[in-house]
Chains A and B, each alone.
Chain A
Amino acid sequence: MQPVPAMPKSWRLDNKPHKFCPGCGHGLILKCLGKAIDELEIQSRVVYGCDIGCSLLSWDLFNLDAVQTHHGRTTPVMAGMKRARPELICIAYMGDGGGYSIGVQHLVGAAMRNEKITVIVANNTQYAMTGGQMAPTTLPGQKTETSPYGRDAETTGLPFRGAEMIAAIVPEGAYVARGSISHLTQLTRFLKKALKNQIDGHGFSFVEALSACPTNWRTDAARTWEFVEKDMAEHFKRGEIKIPGKKEAVTDA
Chain B
Amino acid sequence: MTEAPVIEEKRVFMTGNEVVAWAALAAGADIMYGYPITPQNEVMHYWSRLAPRYGRNFLQTEDELSAGFATTGGVMAGSKAFTATAGSGSVLMQEPMAMAEMMRLPTVTVVQQRGGPSTATVIYSQQEVTLTTMGGNGEGIRVVYSTAGHQDLYDYTIKAFNIAWKYRFPTFVLGDGYQAKMREPLTIYDPERRGIKLLQPDPFVGGEGEPGRDRPPAQYRNTYNLEEELYEKIMSDMREFEENSADIAEYESRHTEDAELVIIAHGIVFRAVREAVDNLRRQSLSVGAFRPVTLRPLPGGQIKELAARVKKILVVESAYGQIARLVKEKVCGAACEIYSMFKPGIGIAAAEVEMRAKEILAKQ
A contacts, CB < 8 Å to B:
10, 12, 43-45, 47, 52, 56, 59-60, 62-70, 73, 75-85, 87-88, 105-106, 108-109
Closest partner residue, chain B, to A67 (CB atom) = B220
Tell me which residues across on chain B come within 8 A of A83, comparing CB atoms. Answer: 31, 33, 57, 59, 70, 73-74
A44 adjacent to B209 (CB under 8 Å):
yes
A85 CB, nearest partner CB in chain B, Å: 4
A127 CB, nearest partner CB in chain B, Å: 16
* A12-B212, A105-B63 known; A67-B70 Cβ under 8 A: no
B contacts, CB < 8 Å to A:
30-31, 33, 57, 59, 61-63, 65-67, 69-74, 76-79, 81, 95-96, 99, 103, 203-207, 209-214, 217-223
9 closest A-B pairs by beta carbon, nearest first, are: A80-B70, A63-B212, A80-B73, A109-B62, A81-B73, A65-B205, A84-B77, A84-B79, A76-B66
Tell me which residues across on chain A come within 8 A of B81, comparing CB atoms. Answer: 80, 84
A64 adjacent to B70 (CB under 8 Å):
no
Q: Which of B61, B63, B65, B205 has the most CB of A within 10 A?
A: B205
A52 adjacent to B96 (CB under 8 Å):
no
A80 adjacent to B74 (CB under 8 Å):
yes
A68 CA to B77 CA, complexed, in Å: 14
Interchain Cβ contacts within 8 Å, total number: 144
B319 CB, nearest partner CB in chain A, Å: 29
B223 adjacent to A84 (CB under 8 Å):
no
A70 adjacent to B211 (CB under 8 Å):
no
28 residue pairs A–B, Cβ–Cβ below 8 Å: A12-B217, A44-B214, A47-B206, A59-B223, A60-B221, A63-B217, A64-B211, A65-B211, A65-B218, A65-B219, A66-B218, A67-B221, A68-B222, A69-B69, A69-B72, A70-B69, A76-B65, A77-B76, A79-B59, A80-B71, A81-B74, A82-B73, A84-B77, A85-B77, A85-B206, A106-B62, A109-B61, A109-B62
A66 adjacent to B74 (CB under 8 Å):
no
A38 CB, nearest partner CB in chain B, Å: 12
Tell me which residues across on chain B come within 8 A of A88, comparing CB atoms. Answer: 77, 205-206
A52 CA to B220 CA, complexed, in Å: 13
B211 adjacent to A106 (CB under 8 Å):
no
Looking at the complex, which one of B57, B69, B77 makes contact with A73 (CB distance below 8 Å)?
Answer: B69
Tell me which residues across on chain B come within 8 A of A47, comparing CB atoms. Answer: 76-77, 205-206
A68 adjacent to B74 (CB under 8 Å):
no
A65 CA to B78 CA, complexed, in Å: 13
Tell me which residues across on chain B come within 8 A of A69, comparing CB atoms. Answer: 69, 72, 99, 222
Q: Which of B65, B207, B211 has the most CB of A within 10 A?
A: B211
Closest partner residue, chain B, to A108 (CB atom) = B62
A167 CA to B218 CA, complexed, in Å: 33
Looking at the complex, which one of A56, A64, A67, A109 makes contact with B76 (CB distance below 8 Å)?
Answer: A67
A128 CB, nearest partner CB in chain B, Å: 15
B74 adjacent to A59 (CB under 8 Å):
no
A7 CB, nearest partner CB in chain B, Å: 12
A28 CA to B16 CA, complexed, in Å: 53
B216 CB, nearest partner CB in chain A, Å: 9
A45 adjacent to B206 (CB under 8 Å):
yes
Closest partner residue, chain A, to B66 (CB atom) = A76
Tell me which residues across on chain B come within 8 A of A12, comparing CB atoms. Answer: 212, 217
B81 CB, nearest partner CB in chain A, Å: 6
Q: Apart from A79-B59, A83-B73, what 5 extra A-B contacts exist at CB < 8 Å?
A: A65-B207, A76-B61, A77-B69, A80-B33, A82-B73
